[in-house]
Structure 1
Amino acid sequence: MRTKKLIPLLTLTLVAFMAMGSLASAESKIILTPKVDAFALFIDTSPSMAQSYKATGASKIVAGLNALKQLNGVIPNLGYQSALYTMPNFTTYSPKTTYNKSTIAKGLSSISTDLPFFQSTPIGSGFTDLDKALSTWKGKMAVIFVSDGLSNSGRNPAAIVSQLSKKYGDRLCLHTISVADTPEGSAVMKKLASLTPCGIFVEASSLSNKAVLDKFAQDVFYTQEEELIVEIIPVPVVAPMQEKIVFRNLNFGFDKYQITEEMEPSLVEGAAILESYPNLKVMIGGHTDSTGPEKYNQGLSMRRAESVANWMAKNGIPKDRIVVTGYGEMNPKYDNNTKEGRKLNRRVEIDVQE
């Protein structure tokens, strides 16, 4: 009895050998893609930041600067623009320019840790000043704000950040690194991070943990994907045709079903292989993760499968060779309780049978 072999697709890259006698050698590399076009480090240098941070023996400003120095050490250079500012007296320590680790490190080292004793802390006004700088920026922006969350004058900082969130929409992500030593200060820092669609809150002390530091950097600055590079080497035909063509998973973004430019080179390769075997029937199945209503996911999975089927039909694979099925969320291959598992479950798979 003939058996069907599931053809998972990740970037639709060929990873096995074809029955005609081709050998495939493969290696993988990690591809980093920036999440933002520019970012600003924004540091509170008000009097309360001179106080001791928890039981570390260091002041809050020292702890905050150390956290940023650690972060600067793991930010990959992906062509971002970057800047370094302080408040409450809005000061530019590094103007917006192409990100350079040495430039940011020099700016961080030049910020004084000898803070004034008599000065108000208007965090809201600080963000108003920051907005004047951000208003000229293009694309997606991240602001990493270091503070203890204590504000004793001016407008409520949450109100100002809410206005910024409405102004910039999903272009702005406000992330907070907290050196708070009071429940009130910590609550303010968490609140500020929650006011933009993608904000992240973290304790400065937690960034001394390498795993936490790396995760924060990835969540803020970049996405990471594994790309499989395959070389097909023709060899003489010495055996009957084998009924398997193995691809990697083709994964879609959350609630997405459109074919992206990044998928097309591998889809072209896949279509060319299928054209070489005109007797193979192509069965395309779409899948989703478990997020959202089951009925909606069923339709979404069909749309994903149809996107791949339509692409194949437009690129040389006759429609009468293609069967499309949507499985919704019913056939997960990975753990839907994890972010990575949900991502891998948002897939299209191809089944081929002679």
Structure 2
Amino acid sequence: MFGKKMFSVLALTLVAFMALGSMASAETRVVLKPKVDAFAYFVDTSPSMAQSYKSTGNPKIVAALNAMKKLNAVVPELGYQSALYTMPDFATYAPKSTFSRAAMARGISAVPSDLGFFQSTPMGSGFADLDGVLKNWDGKFAVIFVSDGLANSGRSPAVVVADMAKKYGDRFCLHVISVADTPKGVSTLKRLASLTPCGVYVDASDLADKAVLDKFAQDVFYTQEEELIVEVVEQVTEVVPVPVPVQEKIVFRNFNFGFDKYQITDEMIPALTEAAALLEDYPNLKVLVGGHTDSTGPAAYNQGLSERRAKSVADWLAGNGVAADRLVVKGYGEENPKYDNNTKEGRKLNRRVEIDVQD
């Protein structure tokens, strides 16, 4: 939902007032929204994970579990489902349920760090076992694979993951936390992360850097969006003997467009309808409809694209009950990015139209 009302009623004990006009002020806040409906940690417990990780002196499995604990501490609880599984002997250490950091921490702690001996590491079979579980999952889901990338028997893991990517399409993202210490292991894991367009690869040791840790968490689990909070305070002059609402807050969120697109989509209609209804409640407010782009392409083209985006939103509002003379339309091109244009997610969020209140 892109807009909603939040009412605050002040009960007056002696007198209350009837509003004759209104004044508006605005501020923004950042909200977190989940990228996925569910996710699963998938941890490699094959014999090579008992070997020492780089120069730490710790086994790879210990480094892997420590990285997972760091990540778990910064994953926001946004209502997605979560689970924790291991391979090559497929086992469940956190059954699928609504994610909580405390429950997942218990699951991570339960994964054994004293690993048994296996004759081989059939990574492809491990992913096939995981697929047997994921086929029953609904919505969009992510898998965070934690491994050193060493496999020496059975089907190629890249073939199995490629088949999963084809079957699930954009519902499926495979991310990798790597404890690889060989070129072959690194190559295998980077290849797996590249098989889904949204896949992200990170080295476990790099997650000790808070900035890297927070970025990986955001890349995998959530987006940040700004919403505008408009506070409308009613001015009062006439005494009446009953309590009445004296202030309301209106929340607008941004409208995001696809690459090189400016047309209104069906997904925008419910939010636009609500925005129009909110504006009808306050006929004295003028609004600025501002269009923006990412930094892809020539600046002159982006300026025109931003103007077309703003105009499409303003035209829709004008055609659905909002007086056209209340709408100021402006394109900003690529000049006012709010997010990092060097990332796919940042560019997506910068392709936006914002509705703001004119002072």
Trace 1:325-336 onto structure 2 (pairs within 5 A).
Answer: 329=333, 332-334=335-337
Deviations 1:259-308, CA, capped at 9 Å, x for gaps: 354455444334554x437xx8x886644323257898678546523431
Trace 1:1-354 onto structure 2 (pairs within 5 A).
Answer: 22-235=22-235, 250-255=254-259, 257=262, 258=264, 259=268, 261-262=270-271, 264-273=273-282, 275-276=283-284, 286-292=291-297, 301=306, 304-318=309-323, 329=333, 332-334=335-337, 337-339=341-343, 342=347, 345-348=350-353
Asked whether the equivalents of residues 276 and 320 of structure 2 are also in contact (C-alpha less than 8 Å), the reply is: no
Shift of 1:332: 2.4
AA aligned opposite 1:195: L
Q: Secondary structure at the match of 1:230?
A: strand
CA distance in 2, matches of 1:78, 1:352: 30
Q: Secondary structure at the match of 2:126?
A: helix
CA distance in 1, matches of 2:27, 2:329: 31
Q: Which runs of 4+ in 1 moved over 6 A?
A: 10-13, 293-296, 320-325, 349-353
Q: Which moved more, 1:176-185 or 1:311-320?
A: 311-320
Asked whether the equivalents of residues 12 and 263 of structure 1 are also in contact (C-alpha less than 8 Å), the reply is: no
AA aligned opposite 1:176: V
Asked whether the equivalents of residues 11 and 250 of structure 1 are also in contact (C-alpha less than 8 Å), the reply is: no
Shift of 1:11: 7.4
Shift of 1:74: 1.3
Residues 125 and 253 (structure 1), Cα distance of their counterparts in 2 relative to 1, 3 Å cut: same
CA distance in 1, matches of 2:104, 2:204: 18
Structure 2 counterpart of 1:4: none
Shift of 1:101: 2.1
Deviations 1:207-228, CA, capped at 9 Å, x for gaps: 1122211111111111112333
Relative CO higher for 1 or 2, CA cutoff 8 Å, sep ≥ 6?
1
Residues 322 and 231 (structure 1), Cα distance of their counterparts in 2 relative to 1, 3 Å cut: closer
CA RMSD of aligned residues (A): 3.5
CA distance in 2, matches of 1:291, 1:127: 37
CA distance in 1, matches of 2:321, 2:32: 32
Choose between structure 1 and 2: higher strand proportion. 2
- Which runs of 5 or more residues in structure 2 are unaligned? 6-19, 238-250
Residues 332 and 194 (structure 1), Cα distance of their counterparts in 2 relative to 1, 3 Å cut: same
AA aligned opposite 1:252: N
AA aligned opposite 1:54: K
CA distance in 2, matches of 1:216, 1:128: 26
AA aligned opposite 2:164: L
Shift of 1:254: 3.4
Q: Secondary structure at the match of 1:191?
A: helix
Asked whether the equivalents of residues 82 and 98 of structure 2 are also in contact (C-alpha less than 8 Å), the reply is: yes
Q: Which moved more, 1:101-110 or 1:293-302?
A: 293-302
Asked whether the equivalents of residues 251 and 345 of structure 1 are also in contact (C-alpha less than 8 Å), the reply is: no
What TM-score do the two structures reach when normalised by structure 2? 0.77
CA distance in 2, matches of 1:32, 1:284: 23
Structure 1 counterpart of 2:242: none
AA aligned opposite 1:269: L
Shift of 1:197: 1.6
Q: Which moved more, 1:108-117 or 1:248-257?
A: 248-257
What number of residue pairs does the alignment pair up?
323
Asked whether the equivalents of residues 12 and 249 of structure 1 are also in contact (C-alpha less than 8 Å), the reply is: no
Q: Calculate percent identity across the aligned residue pairs.
A: 60
Q: Which moved more, 1:118-127 or 1:28-37?
A: 28-37
- Which runs of 5 or more residues in structure 1 are unaligned? 1-9, 14-19, 238-246
CA distance in 2, matches of 1:168, 1:337: 28
